[in-house]
Amino acid sequence: MSSRLVVVGDAVLDRDVEGSAERLAPDAPVPVVEERESRVRPGGAGLAAVLATRDGHDVTLVTALAADAAGVQLRAALEDRGVEVVDIGLEGFTPEKVRIRASGRSLLRLDRGGPPGRVGEAGAAARALIGWAEGVLVSDYGRGITGAPSVRAALADATQRGAPVVWDPHPRAGVPVPGATLCTPNEAEAHGFARAVTRAASGESRFSRDGAAPSPAARAGAPASGLAAAEDAARSLLTAWRAWHVCVTLGAAGAVITDGDGPAVAVTTDHSAAGDPCGAGDRFAARAAGALLAGESPVDAVTVAVAAASAFVRAGGAFAVDAEPHRLPYAAADPTAVAERVRAEGGTVVATGGCFDLLHAGHVRTLRAARELGDCLIVCLNSDASTRRLKGPERPIVSCEDRAAVLAALGCVDAVAVFDDDSPARILERLQPDLWAKGGDYVGAPLVEASALASWGGRAVLLPYVDGRSTTRLIEEARSRAGA
């Protein structure tokens, strides 16, 4: 069953003009772009809402749209992508970002709409929607919606009720309401906010109200960069914003998260994030919000969000969302919703299964190979009870919750479906994958799932076996070394 996520923020209409640039203008040394196509898509909080929808959540976006052509287009683009829109009204013009692109690269961005207009006040229905949400993502683009008193009051109600609230702040906007579960400024934003906090505190004393000193980098006047400086900024903002956790995103370097107790947690990515970073912050925040909504811890939510943002960048960023939506990472999703969406888009659903106890290199190679077969990969994971029946009373070594979290953090895995049976037949009947990938060690062995696959036309495929890689062997080797 999907979960209801309320996204609150400033939606923008993104307009991409794609063309080719093969010559310079005769009157100026600028490229001449021959326009081939122009398309519109939701940007800002609208992009975050679309990504959360594609992660399998029911999403309502509370935003402010003007009564102009751009506002009409933006609402239609959001609703076409499955987002319910609650509009509290905007005086002025709906903001637009027009990108002129050639050969897959942006040459120019033109911003329309002028300075932010006055945002309306949320009515009783909108306030109740936010205040009683299962989870909230605030996607602040500095256009005014989070400054509306009625919206801030409703967000405060959500935090006081204990709902998971992720707040993605913007330098031109107000600070998060106290009690946010996770605040996610990027590196530049975090240092800018932290400097403002330090300046405000310096008028009173060298220390903040609770005795926390300004960051060492700020005291020394050193340039703010790197992991240590990001942690200092996060701790400063944690106190100033009275948040439960602050995570500073560091682009290709990952992120650092702290709750103020003990060392901060650095989350890195194993992959190069070469690609288009447009929209990566929205991908990160939407993924983290979905993971918290699914019951993950903030550290685990950040871990899977870093992996999702990295994969998003490599896939082409925001520009690739409409081109190949099913190639994007699906997070904390209902696996059935993932399968249905990919199927509806004409894609190939691939599933594989196993216990994945003590995930090792052989597992990862097999999972990557399975993902290459189609447009999403759903891992059917044996529960703890199922694993004990299959592997013996001393297994699993790692709990089902942790095994699922590790699998979900892999860039090649789109969703994880836990099953408690001895056979995956029932979960396969629910997912109805086009391909069921098995390891090469099953060559010649009968498939108990064969009849289930045949009922909807699914096919089994074997992947090469990675010799010398097995969980049983790892356990035996560990025991041998422990007894030596």
Residues that are catalytic: 282
Cβ contacts of residue 470 below 8 Å, gap of 6+?
A: 360, 362
What is the helix (H) or strand (E) element at residue 385, kind and residue range? helix 384-391
Contact 98, 15 (CB under 8 A): yes
Cβ neighbours of residue 33 closer than 8 Å, sequence gap 6 or more: 17, 19, 20, 21, 100, 102, 107
Contact 383, 422 (CB under 8 A): no
Burial degree of 294 (CB within 10 A; 0-12, 13-18, 19+): buried
CB count within 10 Å of CB 222 equals 12
Q: Cα(236)–Cα(248) distance, rounded to whole angstroms?
A: 12
d(CA 150, CA 157): 11
Determine contact, residues 343/435, Cβ cutoff 8 Å: no
Structure tokens at 384: 């703890």
- Does residue 477 contact residue 468 with C-beta atoms inside 8 Å? no
Amino acid, res. 178: P
